[in-house]
Amino acid sequence: MLVDILFITETKLDPSFSIAQFDVPNYRSFRKDRTGRGGGILTYVRSDLPTRQRPDLELQHVESIVIETTVCGRKWAIVCVYRPPSMPNACFIDDFTTCIDKVHVHFDNIIVIGDLNYDLVKPDKSQPLHTVCDIFDFTNLIKTPTCFMKDAPPSMLDVILTNRPSLLFNITNSTCGISDWHNMISCVIKGAAPPPNKRKIKCRSYKHFDEKVFSA
């Protein structure tokens, strides 16, 4: 499966790690290093996709990366967010609403993806997230638990929020084998991304090679 844009949260990376250590051929990377408020975000974007990072729109106190991309003439803002469990609800709501208000000025189509550490399985534990979804008319496309911590009941901490649910499909929520407790979640934007560039390699065929003739 070809991945166009990949967000990884809680990378635990800091400036002591060179970005060259995480280079992937044919992808550009954007990085938000670990701080006292988060565990780090790493983003990979196909190098031939028309995308750019928008640091001017990112949250100030909540760890985030905002990517601008265009699919079939529609501009999208994709916001990856990691909220640590210790962050006060009031701080999150204030920072999140400020960010999305700015994003709405430039974009009609918005996706918010990430680990917000609000358990949507328990309405009483996730009211702040329901509040911001009501404010911005966001729909959460993830419907089943995403986190399976040992000796704890399954929880739904990871979300894909959007104000354009009809333009997204093929929603997945599956184990990937490389995370601690979290599943990998994903979606597809309706439309056609440009196919990846293909390299042409010329080589000599030795199918009919005759060593004796060659050495004569």
The pTM of this model reads: 0.86
For residue 60, give both structure tokens: 């100030």
How confident is the model over 31-73, as pLDDT tens digits? 999 876 668 999 999 999 999 999 999 999 999 999 999 998 9
**Angle at Cα 64 formed by Cα 90 and Cα 154, nearest 5°?**
70
Q: In angstroms, rounded to a whole number, what is the distance separating the alpha carbons of residues 45 and 49?
A: 7
Looking at the structure of the chain, the number of domains it has is 1
pLDDT for position 5 = 97
**For residues 31 and 206, which has the higher predicted lDDT (pLDDT)?**
31
The CATH number of the domain holding residue 196 is 3.60.10.10
Mean of the per-residue pLDDT values of the chain:
91
Return the amino acid letter for 4.
Answer: D
Cα dihedral 153, 116, 9, 86 sign: negative
The residues that bridge with 37 in the sheet, in sequence order, are: none
Question: Can you tell me which residue has the tokens 């293909």?
Answer: 198
Name the band, by pLDDT with cuts 50, 70 and 90, for residue 127.
Answer: very high
Given a cut of 80, whether residue 22 has pLDDT beyond it is yes
3-state DSSP helix/strand/coil percent for the chain, to nearest 5?
Answer: 20, 30, 45
Domain range spanning residue 90?
5-215
Instruction: Please name which of 60, 20, 23 lies closest in space to residue 38, comparing C-alpha atoms.
Output: 60
